[in-house]
Structures are given as C-alpha cells and as structure tokens.
Amino acid sequence: MSIAALEPSILLLGPGAAGMMLAPDEFDAAEFEDGFRYERIHGVLVVSPAPLPQERDPNDELGHHLRSYRQNHPHGGSLDNTLPEHDIMVGDDRRRADRVIWAGLGRQPRVDEMPTIVVEFVSVGKRSLTRDYEVKRREYLVIGVQEYWVFNRFNRTLTVFHASGKKVVLGENQTYSTPLLPGFELPLARLFELANRWDAS
C-alpha cells in the first residue's frame, strides 16, 4: 500500500457546505475556501461573508495601535500578542473573532490558548447585533475571556464587557484604556473615521 493511501483525506469546504454537520475534529482538520468566514455552532457549519473594508480597516488600525504599544511603551511587554481573524474554542463550537489579544502571560501564547481580550466589529443587520452583543458576550465571558470589546460603527460606540459583569460604553470622542494593558490608550475617533471613509466611497 502506498504512503498516499495511508494519509487521511482532507475535507475541503466552501460556502456550499453551509449547514453541514461537523464534529469538532473534522472542523479543525478541514481546509476552507478563501473569501468567507467559517464557524462551527452547535455542530453545524456556519458560513458568513468575509468582513467588509469598514470592519477590516479599523481592525488593522487597532492592530497597529497594539503593536506600537508593545514596541514603544515601557509597559508594552504586557501585550503578549494579537491576531486578527482567529478561531476560538467555545466548548465544541468554533467562533471566528475579528481580533484576539493575549495579555499578562509573559510569554508567547499558544495558538489554541484562551485570549485575554476578544474584539468584534459589528456587521450590518439585526442578527449581527444580537450575535455580537448578546450571544458572543455570553460565550466569551463564560470561557474565561477577561474583556470583550464591541466596536459599532453605526452608532459610533465601543462597548466593553468585563468578566466581572461590568459594562462600559464609550463614544467616538473618548479614549479607552484597560488595566490589562497598563498605559495603553486607544482614541476611538480614528477607528470610526476609517470605517466612515469606506461608507462614503
């Protein structure tokens, strides 16, 4: 028997596979067609459109702020790493977060390690609002995420949900800081400005 015959087949999935039942290990081992977002929710493959420029551009700016903090601030070592578009294990489910942040570990995190902070940029539609503000909030805080940030370009707010149950809402002209990243300051106006540029184009 050839070596190729012994290798397990790789599951190749695209948007047409939406609704397929998948075991957690099948989802983790699968390869996915580019241009879409894939999640495993209650055993079902959920396929969504890729984030819009109105979400990707401010997310990229947030990543720039975080990396600049790590490189240039005296307490920047508090930030262990940050990644955009990252899968999070929520029990047997798999959520795709817009950005994750690991802080306070003092080392490089493992790729499957629980993030300290999870970030979402709200997409258009009532379903997205419910998912981001309610469903994901419950899921992330239950599994040990310390802060959950929700950027809403439609009402130009940042809502931060804390593991303690505390909720903070900031407007576009405010600056957010967190004790998880000492000395880090995030002016919100710039992120919403970048989103608006795409809306106006």
Residue 124 falls within a domain, yes or no? Answer: yes
Query: Same domain, yes or no, for 14 and 79?
Result: no
Say if residue 16 is in the same domain as residue 95. Answer: no
Report yes or no on 118 lying in a domain.
yes
Note whether residue 171 is domain-resident.
yes
Q: How confident is the model at residue 59 (pLDDT cuts 50, 70, 90)?
A: very high
Is residue 6 predicted with pLDDT exceeding 80?
Answer: no
Question: Do 33 and 61 reside in the same domain of the chain?
Answer: no
- Crossing angle of helices 188-200 and 53-72, in 10° steps, is 150
Task: Give bridge partners of residue 159 from the DSSP assignment.
Answer: 150, 169
Same structural domain for residues 170 and 185?
yes
Domain assignment of residue 15, given as a range: 8-49
Do both 110 and 29 map to the same domain? Answer: no
- Residue 201: pLDDT band by 50, 70, 90 thresholds? low
The overall average pLDDT reported for the chain is 92
Q: How many domains does the chain have?
A: 2
In a domain, 3, yes or no: no
Residue 8's pLDDT is 55
What CATH number did the domain enclosing 57 receive?
3.90.1570.10
pLDDT band at 171 (very low <50, low <70, confident <90, very high): very high
Q: Is residue 2 part of a domain?
A: no
Looking at the structure, do residues 40 and 93 belong to the same domain, yes or no? no
* pTM of the entire predicted model: 0.89
